[in-house]
Amino acid sequence: MTFVKELHEPPKQTSKSYWFVFFGTKLLVRCCDKNSYTIPRFETPDRMGISCVRTQYLGKYNDICCFSAEVTDEITLPKDMDFLNLFDIFSMINSDMLHIVFFAIQIVAWDRDFQFCGRCGSKTTNMENERAKICRACNLISYPRQSPAIIVAITRGDKLLLARSKRFKPSDMYSVLAGFVDPCESFEECVRREIREEVRIEVKNIQYFGSQSWPFPDSLMVGFTAEYKSGEISIDNDEIDEAGWFSVSELPRIPRKISIARQLIDWFIEKNS
């Protein structure tokens, strides 16, 4: 992939730009066929009858300018375009483009949510030399937000701990445990706390696995593996509906390939196959 983030739109563009246009968390795509979608290219959205409330310049993909934008009302689209739920089209968009989609949706959310200062309520303005907003009244600077969270695969011999959350869609899906990092907390401390709070067990041998930006809305998922140490599963009945130990042969419905949750589960499968 050749995507270069840039702050300032070039004065002249020699070709139509990629436009990552969002209606809520739905993305505007051009439909190639039932199983393939592309990001539309045009000069500006208004040339296509698409009225955006805000636009942001992102950078260049293979020397082609990329913009993000937001619409807030239902609009009439060209017949080969549609707003589709991101979760439904992950596997149908080019992986390079999906990376930019994740970046774009976070920039759209940041631009929308920080129009005003969170300290004094004054109007903010974009800074010239970095992607940030500044309040000229009190000098508070607001950057695009990244909220660190841990996600962990806990093994007990040849079994993996999986849980079903109240917020999962589909509702019968199971995944590994995850949670946001508290202030003044290391990743390892967060792993132990989240596991203790959600399923009441202790773990050992916590090892870093990898990370993934997950823009729903602004998570930076930091993955770990860990081994069971002690205790019996007792769910918190707040975030978790059900949890248990699963072998490779008895895995329930699990997340899609794109997520680091699935990468951790696939690691367990490969290790025990």
Judge contact between 200 and 231, C-beta under 8 A.
yes
Mean pLDDT of 46-51: 83
In this prediction, residue 95 carries a pLDDT of 83
Mean pLDDT of 61-67: 95
Judge contact between 109 and 24, C-beta under 8 A.
no
Cβ-proximal residues to 76 (8 Å cutoff; 6+ apart), any chain:
49
Where do the domains of the chain lie, and which CATH numbers do they carry? 3-113 (3.90.79), 114-144 (no CATH), 147-271 (3.90.79.10)
Mean pLDDT of 221-237: 95
Confidence category of residue 1, pLDDT binned at 50, 70, 90:
low
Confidence category of residue 88, pLDDT binned at 50, 70, 90:
confident
**Percent of the chain having pLDDT more than 70?**
99
Q: What does the pLDDT look like over 118-173, one tens digit per residue?
A: 999 999 999 999 999 999 999 999 999 999 999 999 999 999 999 998 788 778 99
In this prediction, residue 23 carries a pLDDT of 93
Q: What does the pLDDT look like over 162-217, one tens digit per residue?
A: 999 878 877 899 999 999 999 999 999 999 999 999 999 999 999 999 999 998 88
pTM: 0.90
Smallest Cα–Cα separation from 190: which of 226, 161, 155? 226
d(CA 22, CA 1): 22
